[in-house]
Amino acid sequence: MRGQAFYKALLHCYPAAFRDEYGNQMFLMFAEQLGEARRTGRPIDRAALWGRAAWDVLAIAPREHCHVILQDIRFTLRSLAARPGFAAVAILSLTLGIGANIAIFSLWNGLLHASLPLVTHPEQLAMLSDPASSGVWHGDESGDRDMLTWDEFEQLRDRATSFSALMASESSLDSWQLRFQGSDWEEAHGRMVSGGYFPLLGIAPAMGRLFTEADDRQDSPYAVISYDYWQRRFAGSPAVLGRSFTLRQAVLTIIGVAPRGFIGETFGQDPDLWISMRMEPQVVPGDDRLHDVPPEKAMWLHVFGRLKPGVKLARAEAESNAIFKAGLEQFYGGVASPERRKELLDQKLKARPAAGGASSARGDFSTSLSALMAAVGVLLLIACANLANLLLARGAVRRPEMALRLSLGASRGRLIRQLVTESLVLAAMGALCGLAAARLIFAVLAGMIAQGDQGFAMNFALDPLAIAFTLAVTVSSALLFGLLPAWQATRTDASAALKEQGRAGASLGRMRLGRSLVSLQLALSLPLLACAGLLARTVYNLQHVDLGYPRQRLVMTAIDSRTAGYNSERSAVLFRDLLERIKSIPGVAAVTYSHNGLFTGSNSSDLMLAEGYTPKGQDDTGSAWDFVAPNYFSTLHIPLLVGREILQSDDAAAPKVCVVNEAFARKFFGGRNPLGLHVTMIDESVAGRKGTAYQVVGVARNFRTNSLRDKANPRVSLPFSQPHADSVKRANYLIRTTSDSAAVLPAVRQAIQRMDASLPILYAQTLEERMAPWTAQDRITAQVAVVFGISALVLAAIGLYGVLSYNVARRRSEIAIRIALGAQPGGIIRMVLRDTSVLVLAGILVGGGLTYAASRWIASQLFDVAPQDPLVLTAAATVLVAVALGAVYLPAWRASRVAPMEALRQE
Amino acid sequence: MREPKPESLLPLPAAVFHILIALAESDRHGYSIMRDVSARTGGKIRLSAGTLYSSIRRMLEQGLIEELADSPDPSSTDERRRYYRLTRFGRRAAAAEVDRLNGLVRQAHASGLVPGA
């Protein structure tokens, strides 16, 4: 008997429907076989019988489950096809919700968490430079070192024992003009790397060979190209190996192709080619970055190491620092002043895990992306609430059907399974469409990031984590919106429901659930709307922040005279001559130039002494400065509060003068008249400090040069021809135009070309174009937030409309009686609206709380607008109420038009 | 009800074909089908309950067999047993399967894979 009971238990492995239908038969058959086997008395027969039963459970039962699921899916598809409107709305809102989630997740995951593609054991990689830094920094540093010099790298490479290998790469991606034999000049993006670059990353070539350590020790006029570039530029021809091209003063030969998908060591960049670091003197003529010559170091490299097995990051850091410090002591050994030497030696390296490689976009976007992740999560919640509501309403309509099936013996679990299958099928369709939508959204987002971070390139990739996320989102949303309505729809007393048939009846409980879902949707929409509003205000404020000078009709350009072989003296002449040429271009009202320009990313600051000011500590004597050409202030239209601006007459022979800004005057001169006082600029070279005094001849209004968010800092403008530090190396031209600025640009380019065709033009843009990257990240975040806010609003409106329409339909007879008894249409509308106002009010109250939390969370992203800005919050709430009222007005109006006799006759 | 072509079901799974053969002579219940198959194959094939009823479920859906409303055997005391009967469509499907197998056997002989009969 125990055997039979056990077999009965085994039957539970089959789907309920199958068990209900055949369980008894199977049991009978098994009992008879068991009896037979007992009668033979051979244990082997019984064992064979149990073996077959076990086989059934393992092989047949799962097949039967699949069969039931397929049946449910077929049933679902048929029932969805019968209600295309419902299916379309459901799939569309899920597409939006799931698609946005996948896109933002992929970006978030890719940007912040993904490892470098194709690199072997990325978890063993460590970086000794700051992943977010890029560029070239000539001079000295203190504190944590951002980038390294070639000499420093070589010392580390040759002495460090914590790493199995080390390599260096140029921190910024260069934009180069190349010329292949028989072709015109063309642009390509590339970077210089040390010989150990490819071996350290564990990369094998797709074709040809890659660099090796040996390429660091001899001249190596070679290039390795990327797979994409090979396909794009050379149509994948094997003949590419051995082809040569000219790059500035170098002639380089292609020796290999990197494997497909390899992007190198910097995330978000997609170089076309890599060239050997040894070629730097020919590639960047006039700027030797391979040798540190006292007093200057050229810091421009990222350094990566592969940790030996078992070596901890901290140990590697300590060892690297010991080597680094020894190098510094040797380099700065000749510095006379012990105080200065101590300052110069106060530098250290920081070792960080580098599986994700370097990336500047990562730091910029991490906060925004986390906020957007939360926003898309909320959006999906709203979409799910909406679907739950639609399904609840459908559940009410299908109640008689459910009751009938229950009374015919279907188990409740079976019905719930059917309904949940419906939700899963919907969610799966939403996820499939969502994946397509995600690709689109992702491409748009990546494009937007590229606006702010030139050279940014990232492809949509479904890595295992993203796939897991997609599945999790799909299943959890299906359960979120499907389970509750399924529970409600089947929680029904069969006879009562059957009696109700024909009337659109629903229990109070179900109504309450639907209504609270709508309130929840409204509550969730409010923070999205409010944050979108706050971010939009931030962008507006940033785009309209007072620069201190008009931003219209200003064109800027810069030339790289050093690369073209100019020394300091010739450069100075070139700058002046070019100024005259540009001035004569029609449409140019005025022109000037400065060392750092505007919004170029270059900034200078030094220690200085202000006459009569006692510093309140060591860091209290700094000021930003720039060398400016004559008429700088009048060209830019920066008003002078007192005194005069820097003029043509302030040349090298004239007394040294300067113009300070308001912030400078207020901080260092207090209430005193600044005119005639002196500012002594301190130049800190290895040899020691050297002071140069400048007399203040004017005070200018505060103006912005590189930042939109920071408050104005002290700034001093020095004449271009009276430098206090090493000679001026570059000039950024600032050109005021009389009308359309963009129209002048071609003429400006022409003027430069005519001056010297070999002069590389670093950029030629209007100020507004130049500033676009400065607001790009805020703009992207705000645009995405606004789109999400509007989507949330639309979804919430659909939900509200659906529930109200249903509510009105349910109360048709009641309303009909009221109208028959003399109620006016206006009264009916008011009644319905009153009913709704509770929902909206509850939604706004809860939403207010959520908004408070959310806006504080994004406070650091905001500019010139308080997280609780009453205007934005009121506007968000008003929009929400207006849309809510719009969504309920139609059903209310319809209710007021109920024809009493017709409605009552239907009862 | 739509009736698919019998050929669309070919090749028939072995268990299905055995059940069709068992039902060819008379209507039977599950246990009886199992015993008939076992007897005809000299005990080599013993259908398990799961295989049998899973096949029956599918054959009912495909219209190869039908379930009888009453027990065909008035003397039977056990009313719990359910009886199955071969349909015309089931017969056609079995014939089609036999054709298919015959064809295969002919090919095997013709190609010399197996010495001809």
CATH code at B87?
Answer: 1.10.10.10
Is B21 a member of any domain?
yes
Q: Is B50's CB within 8 Å of A30's CB?
A: no
Q: How far is CA A217 from CA A214, A224, A278, B42, in A?
A: 5, 18, 8, 84
Q: Is A30's CB within 8 Å of B53's CB?
A: no
Calculate ∠ Cα A248-A250-A252, nearest 5°.
120
CA A787 to chain centre: 16
B37 within 8 A of A46, measured Cβ to Cβ: no
Is B93 a member of any domain?
yes
Reply yes or no on whether the pLDDT at A283 is more than 90: no
Closest CA to A530 of A799, A841, A838, A844: A844
* A416-425 pLDDT, tens digit each: 878 888 888 8
CA distance A643 to A218: 59
* A427-480 pLDDT, tens digit each: 888 889 988 988 888 888 888 777 766 667 777 777 778 788 888 888 888 887
Q: What's chain A's average pLDDT? A: 86
What residues are paired with A301 via a beta bridge?
A148, A170
Q: Is B51's CB within 8 Å of A56's CB?
A: yes
Confidence band, pLDDT 50/70/90 cuts, at residue A508: low
Closest CA to A585 of A769, A765, A739, A756: A739
**Which token pair is A513?**
């659930």
* Residues of B (17-46) whose Cβ lies below 8 Å from A: 29-31, 34, 46
Is B1 a member of any domain?
no
CA distance A280 to A283: 5
* A307-340 pLDDT, tens digit each: 999 999 999 999 999 999 999 998 888 776 777 7
Q: Give the nearest chain B residue to A49 (CA atoms).
A: B48
Q: Is B49's CB within 8 Å of A29's CB?
A: yes
* A152-179 pLDDT, tens digit each: 999 999 999 999 999 999 998 888 888 8
Chain A positions contacting chain B at CB under 8 Å are 14, 18, 21-22, 24-26, 28-30, 32-33, 48, 52-53, 55-57, 59-61, 63-64, 67
A129 CB neighbour count, 10 Å cutoff = 29
CA distance A904 to A814: 9
Q: Is B46's CB within 8 Å of A24's CB?
A: no
Measured between alpha carbons, how far apart are the two ends of chain A, in Å? 58
Give A288 or A195, the one with higher predicted confidence. Answer: A195
Closest CA to A129 of A103, A149, A100: A149
Confidence band, pLDDT 50/70/90 cuts, at residue A503: very low
Distance to chain B for A15, nearest Cα, Å: 11
A416 within 8 A of A487, measured Cβ to Cβ: yes
Give the pLDDT of chain B (117 residues) as one tens digit per residue: 456 788 888 899 999 999 999 999 899 999 999 999 999 999 888 889 999 999 999 999 999 999 988 776 666 656 678 899 999 999 999 999 999 999 999 999 999 888 865
Is B116 a member of any domain?
no
Structure confidence at residue B75 (pLDDT): 63
For helices A61-82 and B49-62, what crossing angle results, to 10°? 30
Structure confidence at residue B41 (pLDDT): 92
Q: Are strands A688-700 and A678-685 parallel, antiparallel or unpaired?
A: antiparallel
State the pTM of this model: 0.71
Phi, psi of A785 (to 5 degrees): -65, -40
Name the range with the highest mean pLDDT among A8-22, A260-274, A304-318.
A304-318
Helix ranges (DSSP H) in chain B: 14-25, 30-40, 49-62, 88-110
DSSP state of A601: S
A697 within 8 A of A659, measured Cβ to Cβ: yes
Is B7 a member of any domain?
no
Closest CA to A457 of A630, A300, A286, A268: A268
Is B39 a member of any domain?
yes
Q: Lowest-pLDDT range, A133-142, A235-244, A251-260? A: A133-142
For A322, what's the count of Cα atoms within 13 Å in the CB-facing half-sphere?
Answer: 9
Structure confidence at residue B3 (pLDDT): 64
Closest CA to A795 of A481, A584, A358: A481
Name the range with the highest mean pLDDT among A155-164, A368-377, A411-420.
A155-164
Q: How far is CA A231 from CA A26, A119, A228, A234, A786, in A?
A: 64, 21, 5, 6, 39
Is B4 a member of any domain?
no
Structure confidence at residue A686 (pLDDT): 55
Structure confidence at residue A493 (pLDDT): 59
Distance to chain A for B66, nearest Cα, Å: 14
Confidence band, pLDDT 50/70/90 cuts, at residue A786: confident
Confidence band, pLDDT 50/70/90 cuts, at residue A347: very high
Confidence band, pLDDT 50/70/90 cuts, at residue A900: confident
Distance to chain A for B97, nearest Cα, Å: 24
CA distance A81 to A422: 12
Q: Which of A21, A32, A56 sits opposite B50 (nearest CB)?
A: A56
Reply yes or no on whether the pLDDT at A729 is more than 80: no
A151 CB neighbour count, 10 Å cutoff = 17
Q: Lowest-pLDDT range, A651-655, A891-895, A902-906? A: A902-906
A358 within 8 A of A266, measured Cβ to Cβ: yes
* A801-834 pLDDT, tens digit each: 877 777 777 777 788 888 888 888 888 888 888 8
Q: pLDDT exceeding 90 applies to what percent of chain A?
A: 34
Structure confidence at residue A492 (pLDDT): 61
Structure confidence at residue A506 (pLDDT): 47
Please give the biggest Cα pair distance in chain B: 55
Is B14's Cβ below 8 Å from some Cβ in A?
no
Q: pLDDT exceeding 70 applies to what percent of chain A?
A: 94
Q: Give the nearest chain B residue to A65 (CA atoms).
A: B54
A226 within 8 A of A271, measured Cβ to Cβ: yes
The number of distinct structural domains making up chain B is 1
Q: Which domain holds residue B91?
A: 13-73+82-110
Confidence band, pLDDT 50/70/90 cuts, at residue A41: confident
Q: Lowest-pLDDT range, A355-359, A365-369, A404-408, A901-905? A: A901-905
A353: left (phi over 0), alpha (psi -120 to 50) or beta: beta
Q: Which of A26, A33, A57 sits opposite B53 (nearest CB)?
A: A26
Is B95 a member of any domain?
yes
Q: Is B80's CB within 8 Å of A29's CB?
A: no
Q: Lowest-pLDDT range, A354-358, A509-513, A646-650, A875-879? A: A509-513
CA distance A128 to A302: 7
ipTM of the complex: 0.90
Reply yes or no on whether the pLDDT at A498 is more than 60: no
Closest CA to A427 of A44, A162, A80: A80
